[in-house]
Chain A
């Protein structure tokens, strides 16, 4: 993917840059328009730092009306727009385009309403994920989805990516925790979807918007559900001699009707890297390390901890430690949470992949990864959201060695192909973005992708919003809308009829 091809910059738009910047300044006054190369550098990439591109101009609106006017102007003038929240996308979802306005929503940073009787928070899209929890935690509430970038990532970005996190096994993804949106369509129309009530009076546009990666509209307000914080949480740290035993333990826990608050697994290379980094006492003689966290009322947690311990032993665990204090629980997590930087210590660079597989396929996929590791001559360390089969293989490489980035990307693509082959998907929570864009045909047929692009056309008929992301090939909406009809007789006279 080092050969990443983005939509060709439109020279006419590039030539009109001064005029477009002036139009943006007329809509957003003062420091809300950033146009010098030096200042725009801060926006040239997101958390997929392998790719960089300066935008045409950066605009940071403060009001919904400004967003509507910017989009209306761009729509009428055929100017592309890349929306951006905090820029923490791991798939290049907010990678700028040379001929596109970068629409940065970070100044929409206020919490608009906290409603405890209905247990919802209404926030502007630039509020961070953690910011929502912070606003309600003194009253004992929290917002459940917790992507690892929660300190920085914005709730608007969470909607765009349908973000997950450790807790989503029990508490759901962003899509299950967002009740309402206000958004601006590319034509400048402002629409509201949902609110403090549940479900939709019409099509589930809220469901479509969530995870649409900035291609359908720009979110200007988000209503989320908040939950009462569980009274207690305890964790069990379990080591296994083989990954098969670890995988079976996960299956047996779920088979016993237990849905833990979090259930994470690490393989030997990841365990070693994490332990070397944070020294929290992870066993180094195991192939798989499982962290199972149970949360809820103390009586429930105690009951389930005993169950999990029994299941772990039945599956041949060689270590099984139960956290006796919150400090100890957090130490169990410290290694897992530090896994990415820990791998960063042992390798100059790494790529973080994000496939999901049916859980039972874990041993097969791990074995496949070992073979691929030899084939590509690169090391891989694995951390998983074990409860839902979401894998994060970390491919270790050195960008200073010619060809290693390309080899790492090819290795990553092979892993994702393997995920699809065993019944899984290309991305569990990081999004397609530019990173997995060209792999979409591994999972979808042309007909599947055409129907998705027709949905895009219903929202954005000129492909102006975030082009070059998600879809490997952009097809014109007029062409997509054409019907290829098969004139003919009544089909299958043998189809049963009454």
Chain B
């Protein structure tokens, strides 16, 4: 049992070369903040990147940042904030949902889990902002892909393949991300008291308008009270976020208010209050209840989301709230059972998508596929891709088992 904590890319290479020669499986982690997701590791050795840390290039005028993969995300967010910039995809923090402190995690983990937040709808996820990587494959070979510029089609987009691969293809040692300016102001329009289907219609209307809504969420009655310590009150809240320059926000808010004046009671959340609400939704705070009740993160077509949850609740007790206009459904299974097959069958029946079990105790995660199983041809392709990077299956073996 060995925990390797290399401090340079060369040391990472030597560890993986040794593991490849010995065919010794490695659990690859940053700070281990997302260990609660995926099949529990059963490896003798751990490769931790927590000491492979530091921003190696940051050029605000070029909108680009390169860091060692083990750099704490908190350190990067602070540095960017000093220059009034940010990772536009606002990576969520799984800490609170798993009963851990907020603020842990590394930039490499952000890529490996392809994190994103409420702005995913407009700005994309980690996959949409990664520009380049340096990595060590499971073969024990160092390679690079991509670059440090946004417009780049030179060779396959191997950096994107790292997004959401949970460290099963290669160990990234350096990652380069596009960064963007922070919007000058943000304001949220809340429509109060809507049922799920009414909210779906209101969000579709808003997203299809010229108001350039950057996030759209619906928190039903019963869940709303858990947002920002009750600051939203208990009535259902359908939330539309506007970001940008003040004159633009004023105009777009007016447009939305006019369009939705008959939809329900309207409320405006300014600045910090708006930010606090979206941060809570980003991190799934309403379900950060200190329990191990299973939580699903479901990605599906927005217009079907409320129908899927309605069907689910006919059979099992579940709480839900919606982000990405409904394209992201957070589900908490109130009776403690994951109901994996039922949830996934309903997602399929409602236009397709995928459900990831992002919270469950280790016994459940060992028994239930955490990531959605794929059809045979796709699964075979994914296995060949894995083998092309890691033929002996030494990097996070079984973590993504579906």
Interfacial residues, chain A to chain B (CB-CB below 8 A): 115-119, 140-141, 161-162, 164, 168-169, 172-173, 175-176, 185, 189-193, 195-205, 207-208, 210-212, 228-231, 251, 254-255, 257, 259, 296-300, 302-304, 356-360, 385, 388-390, 423-432, 436, 440, 443-445, 447-452, 454-459, 470, 481, 483, 485-492, 495-498
CB<8 Å pairs between A and B, sample of 27: A115-B303, A119-B208, A161-B153, A191-B377, A198-B328, A200-B114, A202-B164, A203-B169, A203-B386, A204-B165, A208-B385, A296-B248, A297-B210, A297-B251, A299-B247, A358-B64, A360-B59, A436-B154, A447-B143, A448-B155, A449-B155, A451-B158, A458-B381, A483-B139, A492-B14, A495-B7, A496-B6
Closest A residue to B162 by CB, please name it: A204
Closest B residue to A456 by CB, please name it: B156
A481 contacts B155, C-beta separation under 8 Å = no
Contact of B248 among A141, A303, A429, A450 (CB under 8 A): A303
Report chain B residues within 8 Å CB of A427. Answer: 152-154
- Does B314 count as interface, using CB distance less than 8 angstroms? no
Contact of A204 among B4, B164, B207, B252 (CB under 8 A): B164
Closest B residue to A207 by CB, please name it: B160
Return A45 CB to nearest CB of chain B, in Å. 21
Return B153 CB to nearest CB of chain A, in Å. 5
Report chain B residues within 8 Å CB of A425. Answer: 147, 149, 151-152, 154
How many residue pairs, one in A and one in B, have C-beta atoms under 8 Å apart?
Answer: 313
Return B68 CB to nearest CB of chain A, in Å. 15
A381 to B17, CA, bound (A): 49
Report chain A residues within 8 Å CB of B198. Answer: none
Interfacial residues, chain B to chain A (CB-CB below 8 A): 2-7, 11, 14-15, 17-18, 20-21, 51, 59-64, 84, 114, 116, 120, 124-125, 127-128, 137, 139-145, 147-158, 160-161, 163-165, 169, 180-184, 204, 207-210, 212, 244-245, 247-248, 250-252, 255, 299-303, 324, 327-328, 351-354, 356, 371-372, 374-375, 377-382, 384-389, 391-392, 400, 402
A197 contacts B153, C-beta separation under 8 Å = no
Q: Which among A117, A254, A443 has the highest number of chain B CB atoms within 10 Å?
A: A117
B149 contacts A455, C-beta separation under 8 Å = no
Closest 3 pairs between A and B when the two form their complex, measured CB to CB = A207-B160, A300-B248, A201-B354
**A201 and B158 in contact, given A119-B208, A303-B247 (Cβ under 8 angstroms):** no
Return A210 CB to nearest CB of chain B, in Å. 7
Report chain B residues within 8 Å CB of A358. Answer: 59, 62, 64, 148-149
**A203 and B327 in contact, given A211-B153, A303-B247, A426-B154 (Cβ under 8 angstroms):** no
Report chain B residues within 8 Å CB of A302. Answer: 247
Q: Which among B128, B141, B149, B371 has the highest number of chain A CB atoms within 10 Å?
A: B149
A359 contacts B377, C-beta separation under 8 Å = no
Report chain A residues within 8 Å CB of B181. Answer: 254, 257, 259
Report chain A residues within 8 Å CB of B324. Answer: 198
A192 to B374, CA, bound (A): 10
A257 contacts B182, C-beta separation under 8 Å = yes
Q: Is the interface of A mostly helix, strand, loop or mixed?
A: loop
Closest A residue to B204 by CB, please name it: A117
B5 contacts A117, C-beta separation under 8 Å = no
Report chain A residues within 8 Å CB of B6. Answer: 492, 495-496
Return B373 CB to nearest CB of chain A, in Å. 8
Report chain A residues within 8 Å CB of B180. Answer: 259
Q: Which among A173, A426, A454 has the highest number of chain B CB atoms within 10 Å?
A: A454
A220 to B144, CA, bound (A): 31
Report chain A residues within 8 Å CB of B351. Answer: 195-197
Return A478 CB to nearest CB of chain B, in Å. 12
A430 to B152, CA, bound (A): 9
B301 contacts A195, C-beta separation under 8 Å = yes
Report chain B residues within 8 Å CB of A443. Answer: 147, 154-155
A428 to B354, CA, bound (A): 32
Contact of A199 among B4, B15, B127, B152 (CB under 8 A): B127
Return A359 CB to nearest CB of chain B, in Å. 6
B385 contacts A203, C-beta separation under 8 Å = yes
Return A251 CB to nearest CB of chain B, in Å. 5
Return B247 CB to nearest CB of chain A, in Å. 4
A491 contacts B17, C-beta separation under 8 Å = yes
A497 contacts B20, C-beta separation under 8 Å = no
Closest B residue to A494 by CB, please name it: B11
Closest A residue to B248 by CB, please name it: A300
Return B375 CB to nearest CB of chain A, in Å. 7
Return B324 CB to nearest CB of chain A, in Å. 7
B381 contacts A208, C-beta separation under 8 Å = no
**A195 and B385 in contact, given A117-B204, A304-B245, A429-B153 (Cβ under 8 angstroms):** no
Report chain B residues within 8 Å CB of A205. Answer: 161, 378, 381-382, 385
Return B24 CB to nearest CB of chain A, in Å. 9
B15 contacts A388, C-beta separation under 8 Å = no
Report chain B residues within 8 Å CB of A492. Answer: 6, 11, 14-15
Report chain A residues within 8 Å CB of B160. Answer: 175, 204, 207-208, 210
A210 contacts B157, C-beta separation under 8 Å = yes
Report chain B residues within 8 Å CB of A496. Answer: 5-7, 51
A197 contacts B352, C-beta separation under 8 Å = yes
Closest A residue to B138 by CB, please name it: A483
Report chain A residues within 8 Å CB of B328. Answer: 198
Return B71 CB to nearest CB of chain A, in Å. 17
A116 to B255, CA, bound (A): 19
A230 to B209, CA, bound (A): 10
Closest A residue to B328 by CB, please name it: A198
Report chain B residues within 8 Å CB of A296. Answer: 212, 248
B156 contacts A197, C-beta separation under 8 Å = no
Report chain A residues within 8 Å CB of B17. Answer: 486, 491
Report chain A residues within 8 Å CB of B207. Answer: 119
